[in-house]
Amino acid sequence: MTRKGRRLLVISCAAGVLFVAAGLVLFALNDTIVFFRSPSEIAAEGTRPGTRLRLGGLVKDGSVQHTDGTHVRFVVTDGGADMGVTYVGLLPDLFREGQGVIAEGVLAPDGSFTADSVLAKHDETYMPKEVADALKKQGVWKEGEGTP
């Protein structure tokens, strides 16, 4: 084997090892990657039950129901579609109707969303970019509501 041939063999083996390593890393991260969706996107795409995702939008006025100290049901809307959310735990202090929210959890078989964490916007001028983009797409966004 010539010197050029050995060099080519070493480079191709190294590239193969890097390719396999990258594939293994992506496979390992597959369960931890969480995608952001708005209620309209979930309805349009037909997201399958059991899918872990982040649901973002506005808390619909008049939808918050406290069943006991820690069980809460509310509706997230983006103006085009609504999605019911159930959550067990303490809500953030800034959580209220009409405000931006991101709920992370799992889509239930009945079409509702079971959240295991709820994030509320942290002041009156901020809204996560994903939520602002989804609201703009639906035509619900009003200029001056937040920083897109």
Phi-psi region of 120 (alpha: psi -120 to 50; beta: other; left: phi over 0): beta
**Known binder of ligand: residue 66?**
no
Q: Are residues 43 and 7 located together in one domain of the fold? A: no
Residues 73, 20 share a domain: no
Determine the average pLDDT of the residues in 82-101: 88
The domain containing residue 5 runs over which residues? 1-33
> What pLDDT sits at residue 95?
87
Q: 40 with 9, same domain? A: no
Are 67 and 103 in a shared domain?
yes
Whether 80 has a pLDDT exceeding 60, the answer reads: yes
83 and 54, same domain (yes or no): yes
- Classify strands 71-77 and 52-59 as parallel, antiparallel or unpaired: antiparallel
107 lies in some domain: yes
Q: For position 125, what pLDDT does the model report?
A: 58
Same domain membership, residue 21 and residue 40: no
Pair 23, 48 in one domain = no
Enter the tokens of residue 137.
């797409």
Average pLDDT, integer, range 54-61: 89
| pLDDT for the residue numbered 141 | 63
Residue 121 included in any domain: yes
Q: What are phi and psi of 26, to 5 degrees?
A: -65, -40
Q: Same domain for 88 and 56?
A: yes
Establish if 147 belongs to a structural domain.
no
If pLDDT is split at 50, 70 and 90, which confidence band does 136 have?
A: confident
For residue 146, what pLDDT is reported? 47
Q: What is the pLDDT of residues 6-56, one digit of tens each?
A: 999 999 999 999 999 999 988 888 766 777 888 888 888 877 788 888 888
Confirm whether residue 126 is marked as ligand binding. Answer: yes
92-131 tens-digit pLDDT: 888 888 888 999 999 888 888 999 999 886 555 556 677 7
Number of domains in the chain: 2
The yes-or-no verdict on residue 140 having pLDDT over 80 is: no
100 with 131: CB under 8 angstroms? Answer: yes
Q: Based on the fold, state whether residues 111 and 130 are members of the same structural domain.
A: yes
